[in-house]
Amino acid sequence: MKSRKIIAGAVTLLAAVTLAACTSSTDKDIVSLKGQTITVSEFYDEVKNNPNAQQVLLSMLITEVFEENYGDKVSDKEVTEAFDKMAEQYGDSFQQALASAGLNTESYKQQIRTNKLVEYAVKQAAEKELTDDNYKAAYENYTPEVTARVIQLTDEAKAKEILAKAQEDGADFAQLAKDNSADSNTKDKGGEVKFDSTSTEVPKEVQQAVFALDNGQVGASIVPVVDPTTYTTSYYVVKLESKTEKAKDWKEYKDKLKEVILTAKQNDAAFISTVVSEELKAANVKVKDPAFQNILSQYIPSEVNSSSTDASSSTDASSSSEEKKDENK
């Protein structure tokens, strides 16, 4: 029931070299043609307002900050293993997939490394969320392990037909699963599967349908599930064999609940954004070029970011004013 992960769309690195080169005091020519030239500064002025360039600088900034703070927490071995795992999943189409995402081998490895650095920081922050109140809240939404049977079908009409047969008195649900299920992981076991509410192997829609049943009961309707990677729909016929009685003390499930809390935080976009924001604030990032004044807006309130830019702009203006005075003397 697992779906294969897809390489996340990458930042296009079209301006990375330019942005780095702009720190040079010498304005070098990039190209020349019949007496004309295009210099580094000219190219920079042209591309710096491009959304891709904005995203490149933000990515470079995040990499620098998290590398400084957590660089020793992620090994080259971890990065290589993650890279090799994805390459194995994609097989011969891996390089094409990288190219489509605007990546090559080295830039994808750097992306993996940066992601892992951020993941480490997020996990550290999530550990602070392991309070009794959060444990109790997670306990309220937790369902202990159940034993169920599922039949996965790709055709809705066929699924309804199998459901009707499964609901007949004396129906052999296990045999129906063996004869009809498209789920290779459970088919040979008569559709049997065990899971609790923390499972990632069973679709949430299927879990919810099973949890609502009584022991020995077949679901009243088929359960449609859309695959988020292929957008195809599967239809499930479900039956609850037995459920475990839930303990009254949440501490009985402390390890499970810890996993629930940490996983929820690590998958919470708002929480991740907050962690990145705090790291950027602590790094005292100053945006020097007004063209990039908004690159931190998704992580740091605009008034904070703009004040840094305004301050640097004021300094630049003052410097410019002083230079003009010197020229007039």
Convert the pLDDT of each residue in 130-179 to its tens digit.
999 999 999 999 999 999 999 999 999 999 999 999 999 999 999 999 99
Task: Compute how many other C-beta atoms are within 10 angstroms of the C-beta atom of residue 146.
Answer: 22
Cα–Cα distance measured from residue 103 to residue 106, given in angstroms and rounded to the nearest whole number: 8
Torsion angle in degrees (nearest 10) through CA of 295, 298, 299, 303: 80
pLDDT at position 34: 86
In this model, does residue 25 exceed pLDDT 80?
no
Structure tokens at 111: 């992306």
pLDDT at position 302: 62
- Per-residue pLDDT band at 15 (split at 50, 70, 90): very low
Q: Mean pLDDT score of the chain, rounded to an integer?
A: 86
| CA separation, residue 109 to residues 62, 79, 82, 103, 219 (Å) | 15, 6, 9, 9, 46
Cα–Cα distance measured from residue 318 to residue 115, given in angstroms and rounded to the nearest whole number: 40
pLDDT at position 9: 41
- Per-residue pLDDT band at 11 (split at 50, 70, 90): very low
Domains in the chain, start-ordered, CATH in brackets? Answer: 1-127 (no CATH), 143-243 (3.10.50.40)
pLDDT at position 303: 46
What is the model's pTM? 0.70
Beta strands in 101-206, from DSSP E residues, in sequence order: 146-153, 192-195
As a whole number, mean pLDDT of residues 70-75 equals 96
In this model, does residue 6 exceed pLDDT 60?
no
With a pLDDT cut of 70, the percent of the chain lying above it is 84
In this model, does residue 2 exceed pLDDT 90?
no
In this model, does residue 223 exceed pLDDT 90?
yes
Q: φ, ψ for residue 186 (rounded to 5)?
A: -120, -15
- Nearest partner of 148 among 324, 1, 277, judged by Cα: 1
In this model, does residue 77 exceed pLDDT 90?
yes
- Between 245 and 17, residue with greater pLDDT: 245
- Per-residue pLDDT band at 192 (split at 50, 70, 90): very high
The pLDDT tens digits for 114-139 are 999 999 999 999 999 999 999 999 99
- Between 291 and 325, residue with greater pLDDT: 291
pLDDT at position 26: 63
